[in-house]
Amino acid sequence: MIQVHKLSKAFTVHKKDPGLLGSVRSLFRREQVVKQAVREVSLSIEEGEIVGLIGANGAGKTTLIKMLAGIIVPSAGEATVLGHVPWKRDDRFRQQIALIMGQKAQLWWDLPAADCFLLLKEIYRLPEAQYRETLDYLTEVLGVREQLNIQIRRLSLGERMKMELLAALLHSPRVVFLDEPTIGLDLTAQRAIREFILQYREQHRPAMLVTSHYMEDIQRLCERILIIREGELIYDGSLRQVMEKFATHKRITVHLRPDKPVPELSAELRALGEVLQRDAELVKVEVPRADVPAASAKLLQELPAADLVIDELDIGTVIERILSQRAEVPASELPASEPSAS
Amino acid sequence: MSPRLFLQVLSLEARNRLSYRAEFWLNALVGFGVEFAVVYFLWSSMFRESGKQEIGGFDLQGMVTYYLAVILLGKLVRTQRFEGGVSTDIYEGGLNRYLVFPAGYFPFKYAQHLGGLVPAVVQFLLFALVVAFFLDVPPELRPSPTSALMALAAIAVANLLYYLLDYAIQLVAFWADNVWSLDVAKWFVASLLGGFMVPLSVFPAWLVPWLEALPFRFFFDFPARVLLGQIEPAEWARGLVVALAWCGVLALVGRGVWRRGVEQYAGVGI
Ligand SMILES: Nc1ncnc2c1ncn2[C@@H]1O[C@H](COP(=O)(O)OP(=O)(O)OP(=O)(O)O)[C@@H](O)[C@H]1O
Ligand SMILES: [Mg+2]
């Protein structure tokens, strides 16, 4: 459904020195800075797939989504979504996609949601019966019936996000782009939105591309993730595989008794694994799975322990490592553009 | 864009604007009074100082009537600035949503613009009533039903023409950090060469052919003279055709600018 081949986007920004003098100077000599936001990204996404797009701030996630939704034109490369080139903005293409941005309202601030939906009904030319049915269903599921007649600007962030989601799905799009749909929401609202997205997937089998900085979202929604670093796609594959690859290690945390001095760790113990943290309160080491019993015993023996916890690396840590280049991704797991029939 | 969508956008915008409080209407009324008073005192003293009976084909009473007409219909022709304007959409990224919807941007904005005009229409009618009841308009300048109808068409075309010019200029926001100065320049030229500041007949004779070749006179001078019954039906029809041709030209320019602009739009604001 989504095919992307070597897509790149460079922004040209005119640099301006601060202050009045800077403004005057820039009248005569404008310094241009080229910012490569997305570099030769290739990928493909199928029907019914929810793919997570992960990366640090400024990695190029939003830029990639904007290109695929047809808002901006790439500087190089190709993409087709549902067989259309997005930035040609054919109505047949736009009729079938949706874009949801957690950071930026798509709905009209001054109108109550009910009016926004009526406008969307005309924009997407939805038949009355279908519109009624979808709207009833969505308001029920999202629990926003009470807020329908309140101006969007007066809604709380969570209520607004639900309205945005509802508005974006009224026309049953086959491709949905979600850029940080849960940003700033409380845990209950985040969960509600996630459940809702999953439910929508069950019923409509759309292709979805989701970005989020909340690992909970990624874990619950996506089987497949894309990791983007400085505009480059550095991982494309299943979430499970990444986790397995990094689950070779576990973490042991020893909470220390406050009344005792902190002893040095023996060389033997240090050889077993990597010491992540060591201070007056706790010692944290990461050791290969097989060495967990030995290391635990040794730690308890050497340290005045109050408590000991063993846990798996969490997905956030794994991603953080990949992003900070502490973990190299094997070449075999780099974007494999499989041919597909969409 | 379907006519239904167009009308819906229009009526939503109108409803939105009509919910303004009473103080908005009061301000409008006071503004109208002040504008009119300034013109009145300015031209009375001009006529007195120069000792002339007629300037540009108008005596004092005629001149004042001309300004009444221009100030009133100007409310229907000029674009009222509001948040959702084209350049704001470009600067703040509000444009994004329209790029995602399967609907044209221009028709959407024009429908909003027309909806936003509804309070202006109410103002126009209100002030026209005030003028009809309280001010002394010379009989030969009183609008007849025919001239009022003819003026309606002239005003509608003037509104479209003005909006198209405004739209093309606002689109410069794709390249410039600020279109405010262009906006000011546009208003200066349009009001000077369009008959808002002074009637065009006041300009020296050699300038007149130039003014007639430009589109600006269709903004204020033409509809005002139609309203005051100074324009024959044949000339009126010819004027409308020329003005519509100008609309076509500006629409083409706007489309070209839009295509280029959106090609390099960076989709800011997220
Ligand atoms: N309109 C623009 N003009 C110039 N540079 C831009 C523009 N939009 C984005 N950039 C730059 O491109 C890079 C990628 O930005 P993008 O918004 O895609 O990041 P992101 O991955 O979505 O980050 P975040 O997680 O913070 O939302 C950034 O360095 C940003 O400064
Ligand atoms: Mg972003």
- Any residues with CB less than 8 A from the CB of A121 and at least 6 apart, and which? A131, A170
Give the confidence band of A114 by pLDDT, cuts at 50, 70, 90.
Answer: very high
The more confidently predicted of residues A22 and A94 is A94
Query: Is residue B213 packed enough to be buried (19+ CB in 10 Å), middle (13-18) or exposed (0-12)?
Result: exposed
- Indicate the number of domains in chain B: 1
What domains sit in chain A, N to C, each tagged with a CATH number?
2-243 (3.40.50.300), 248-312 (3.30.70.260)
- H or E element in which residue A159 lies: helix A157-169
Residue B36 belongs to a domain: yes
pLDDT at B134 over 80: no
Inter-chain residue contact A111 with B96, CB threshold 8 Å: no
Q: Which domain holds residue B109?
A: 3-264
For chain A, what percent of residues have pLDDT higher than 70? 93
Q: What DSSP string describes chain B?
A: --HHHHHHHHHHHHHHHHT--HHHHHHHHHHHHHHHHHHHHHHHHHHHHH--S-BTTB-HHHHHHHHHHHHHHHHHHSPPP-TT-HHHHHHHSTHHHHHHSSS-HHHHHHHHHHHHTHHHHHHHHHHHHHHHHHS---GGGSPPHHHHHHHHHHHHHHHHHHHHHHHHHHGGGGT-S--HHHHHHHHHHHHHHTTSSS-GGGS-GGGHHHHHHSGGGGTTHHHHHHHTT-S-HHHHHHHHHHHHHHHHHHHHHHHHHHHHHHHT------
Q: How far apart are the first and last CA of chain B?
A: 27
Q: If you average pLDDT over residues B119-135, what whole number do you get?
A: 81
Residue B72 belongs to a domain: yes
Query: Is residue B88 packed enough to be buried (19+ CB in 10 Å), middle (13-18) or exposed (0-12)?
Result: middle
Interval B192-228: pLDDT, tens: 999 999 899 889 989 988 998 999 999 999 999 999 9
pLDDT at B247 over 50: yes
Residue B270 belongs to a domain: no
Residue B170 belongs to a domain: yes
Question: What pLDDT score does A248 carry?
Answer: 79
Interval A192-248: pLDDT, tens: 889 999 999 999 999 999 999 888 899 899 999 999 999 999 989 998 888 777 777
Residue B89 belongs to a domain: yes
Give the confidence band of A109 by pLDDT, cuts at 50, 70, 90.
Answer: confident
Question: What pLDDT score does B83 carry?
Answer: 59
Q: If you average pLDDT over residues A58-81, what whole number do you get?
A: 95
User: How many CB atoms are located within 10 Å of the residue A160 CB?
Assistant: 20
Among the ranges given (A69-78, A318-327, B185-194), the one the predictor scored with the smallest mean pLDDT = A318-327
Interval A15-66: pLDDT, tens: 777 777 766 776 677 778 899 999 999 999 999 999 999 998 999 999 999 9
Environment of ion ligand 2 (residues, CB < 5 A):
A 62
pLDDT at B63 over 60: yes
Partner-chain residue, chosen from B93, B96, B102, that has the shortest CB–CB distance to A94: B102
Ligand 1 centroid – CA A34 distance (Å) = 12
pLDDT at B89 over 80: yes
Q: Is residue A63 in contact with ligand 1, taking CB distance under 6 Å?
A: yes
Give the confidence band of B17 by pLDDT, cuts at 50, 70, 90.
Answer: confident
What is the residue-averaged pLDDT of chain B? 88
Interval A245-256: pLDDT, tens: 777 788 899 888
Residue B13 belongs to a domain: yes
Q: Is residue A57 in contact with ligand 1, taking CB distance under 6 Å?
A: yes
Residue B27 belongs to a domain: yes
pLDDT at B26 over 50: yes
Residue indicated by tokens 């109505």: A91
Residue A103 CA, closest ligand 1 atom number: 27
Residue B269 belongs to a domain: no
Q: Is residue A61 in contact with ligand 1, taking CB distance under 6 Å?
A: yes
- Closest C-alpha among A253, A314, A313, A317 to residue A289: A313
Among the ranges given (A270-279, B15-24, B211-220, B254-263), the one the predictor scored with the smallest mean pLDDT = B15-24
Q: Is residue A8 in contact with ligand 1, taking CB distance under 6 Å?
A: no
Question: What pLDDT score does B28 carry?
Answer: 78
What is the residue-averaged pLDDT of chain A? 86
Q: If you average pLDDT over residues A78-94, what whole number do you get?
A: 95
Q: What distances in angstroms separate CA B234 from CA B210, B239, B248, B261, one per listed residue?
A: 21, 9, 21, 40
In whole angstroms, give the CA distance from residue B219 to residue A298: 90
Q: What distances in angstroms separate CA B24 from CA A153, B17, B33, one per listed residue?
A: 22, 10, 14
Inter-chain residue contact A71 with B101, CB threshold 8 Å: no
Give the confidence band of B132 by pLDDT, cuts at 50, 70, 90.
Answer: confident
Ligand 1 centroid – CA A207 distance (Å) = 24
Inter-chain residue contact B101 with A94, CB threshold 8 Å: yes
Q: What distances in angstroms separate CA A251 from CA A228, A256, B216, one per listed residue?
A: 26, 16, 77
Question: What pLDDT score does A334 carry?
Answer: 45
Enter the pTM of the model. 0.85
